[in-house]
Every structure is written in C-alpha cells, then in structure tokens.
C-alpha cells in the first residue's frame, strides 16, 4: 500500500503534462468505477449507500472530487516529490479537527508538541527548499490536505455502517459523472502520448480500484489503527520516484522537513486518545492522491 499510494504523485505529474486536471480526474474515476461496479452490484452493496446520498456527496467532495482536481492542478507547477511531502501533513490536520470536535484528552502536552514539530517541518519544506515551490500551488495542496483530513471524519460519522465497497464505488461513480461534462467539453488537442495513457490507466486500475480492494484486506488483517502507517511512508516513496524518474532535486531541507512532519504526526496522534481517534475515523479512504 505504501508503494501503490506513493506512486500517484509521479503518474499525476506525467499525465498533467498533456491532460487537463478535469480530464485526468474523469478518466481515473471512470476506470475505477468500471472495475469496481460489477463487484459492488453483485454483492448488493450499492442500494444502501445510494439511500444515504447526502453524506455520500459530502464525502465525495471532500475526499475525491475537490482534492484530486486540485492536486493535479498543483502538480503542474510543483515537483511531485514536494507535493507528496506536503500531503504528509494530513495526520496533523486530522489531529486539529479531532481537537476542534471536542475529542477527550486530545490536547495533551505530547500531542501539542507533535503538532508544533509537524508544523515546523511543513514550514521547512516550503520556506527553505523552495525550488519549484510556487506559493499558490502550495496553498492549493493545503486545501487538498484539509479535504483528505475531513473525508474520513465525514465517513466515520455518517457512512461507517455501510459496505465499504459500495461507498467507494458510489463515490468514484459520482465523481466521474460530475467531471464528465468538464472533461468532454475540453478534450486534449492531440492524442496523448503512450506514457500519459499508461499513467492514466495505472492510476485508475492500480492506484484506485486495486488500491481500495487491497486496503480493505489490510484493514481486515491488521485493523484500522495500524493501517495508518502507510500515511507516514508513502510520501517517502513519492520522493524517491520523483528523484529517480523525473530527476527532481531533493534538498537537505526536504529530508529534515519530512522527518519533522513524520515525528510530529506520530506524537500528535499518539496516546490512548490518538489510538481511539484512529479507530473511529480511519476508514478506507484515499489519504494520498
């Protein structure tokens, strides 16, 4: 899972070179829907989900529709490695949401220290390793981070009792339908290159459809709390792929910044409350692109 959800940053960077963000999101979600829909229908997982369409729509907007198009937009200007590192701040924002929602004991001293350490790491990434760091694009990634942190909370509070596969399939389908008019009204000027087509197919098949199926099995095997480990590791995968395949620069500030974000996330979400919050809100979700 760390590899599968560390790869999309590279694939998105390649794809947005020739496709609009709306077209990329549409293709990815359409492919994912086409693969998962027959299984969801066979299991009868869609009917109970569609009956609760309002929270489903809110979840889809927070976790897929808005973050995915903004992430693709940001990567037109930002290196994929820096984007992946910035998204590593999702657990920190999730901690902030938990505190705002009145989670008991969430503001313990260790948790506050973790939050501050993580914020210093983000500041270090943006302020001291600024190669390719367009400030507008960084702000866009900030919105993505907020969406990724809010999505699981919406899901855990309103859709947690519904079939996971049904929720994911319905969300992907809604996203594909929503972006279809935008994508089809603004097609690419020429046939995309082979590597762009391969990137889109890989995003849809591997990083969306297969990723969700594997993530469900991971949660069944080790539980929702322990599965959050992938959130801390997949940005490192994104950095490695960006450096190796896209020849992106990796400064010492990036390394230090990521280490601080990682340490801060662990501290901020640790302790009995952090464990309880993880059990309550960590559900199948794309915490990465």
How crowded is the C-beta side of 141, counted as CA atoms within 13 Å? Answer: 29
The tens digit of pLDDT for each residue in 56-111 reads: 999 999 999 999 999 999 999 988 888 888 888 887 787 778 777 776 555 577 87
Asked if residues 272 and 105 have their Cβ atoms less than 8 Å apart, the reply is yes
Instruction: Say yes or no to pLDDT of 285 above 50.
Output: no
Instruction: Say yes or no to pLDDT of 276 above 90.
Output: no
What DSSP string runs through 41-99? HHHT-HHHHHTTHHHHHHHHIIIIIHHHHHHHHHTTTS-HHHHHHHHTTHHHHHHHHHH
Residue 206's pLDDT is 95
The tens digit of pLDDT for each residue in 179-213 reads: 999 999 989 989 999 999 999 999 999 999 998 88
Name the CA dihedral angle for 257, 259, 264, 267, rounded to a multiple of 10 degrees: -170
- Of 58-62, 121-125, 173-177, 255-259, the one with minimum mean pLDDT is 121-125
What's the mean per-residue pLDDT of the chain?
Answer: 84
Percent of the chain with pLDDT over 90: 45
Sign of the CA dihedral running 143, 149, 153, 159: positive
| Residue 238, phi-psi category: left (phi > 0), alpha (psi -120 to 50), beta (remainder) | alpha
């Amino acid at each position: 899972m760390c590899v599968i959800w560390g790869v999309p940053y590279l694939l998105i960077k390649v794809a947005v070179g020739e496709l609009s963000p709306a077209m990329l999101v549409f293709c990815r979600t359409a492919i994912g829907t086409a693969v998962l829909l027959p299984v969801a229908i066979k299991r009868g997982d869609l009917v109970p989900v569609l009956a609760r369409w309002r929270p489903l729509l809110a979840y889809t907007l927070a976790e897929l529709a808005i973050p995915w198009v903004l992430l693709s937009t940001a990567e037109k200007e930002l290196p994929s490695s820096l984007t992946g590192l910035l998204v590593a701040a999702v657990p920190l924002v999730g901690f902030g949401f938990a505190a705002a929602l009145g989670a008991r004991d969430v503001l313990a001293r260790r948790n506050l220290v973790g939050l501050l350490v993580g914020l210093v790491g983000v500041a270090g990434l943006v302020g001291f390793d600024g190669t390719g760091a367009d400030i507008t694009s960084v702000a866009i990634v900030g919105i993505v981070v907020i969406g990724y942190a809010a999505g699981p909370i919406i899901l855990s509070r309103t859709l947690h009792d519904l079939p996971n596969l049904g929720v994911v399939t319905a969300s992907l389908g809604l996203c594909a339908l929503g972006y279809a008019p935008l994508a089809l009204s603004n097609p690419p000027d020429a046939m995309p290159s082979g590597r762009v087509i391969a990137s889109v197919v890989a995003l849809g098949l591997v990083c969306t459809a297969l990723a969700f199926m594997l993530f469900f099995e991971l949660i069944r095997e080790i539980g929702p709390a322990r599965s959050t480990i992938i959130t801390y590791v997949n940005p490192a995968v994104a950095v490695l792929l960006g450096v190796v395949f896209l020849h992106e620069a990796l400064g010492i500030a990036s390394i230090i910044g990521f280490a601080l974000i990682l340490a801060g996330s662990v501290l901020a979400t640790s302790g009995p409350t952090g464990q309880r919050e993880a059990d309550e809100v960590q559900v199948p979700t794309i915490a990465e692109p």
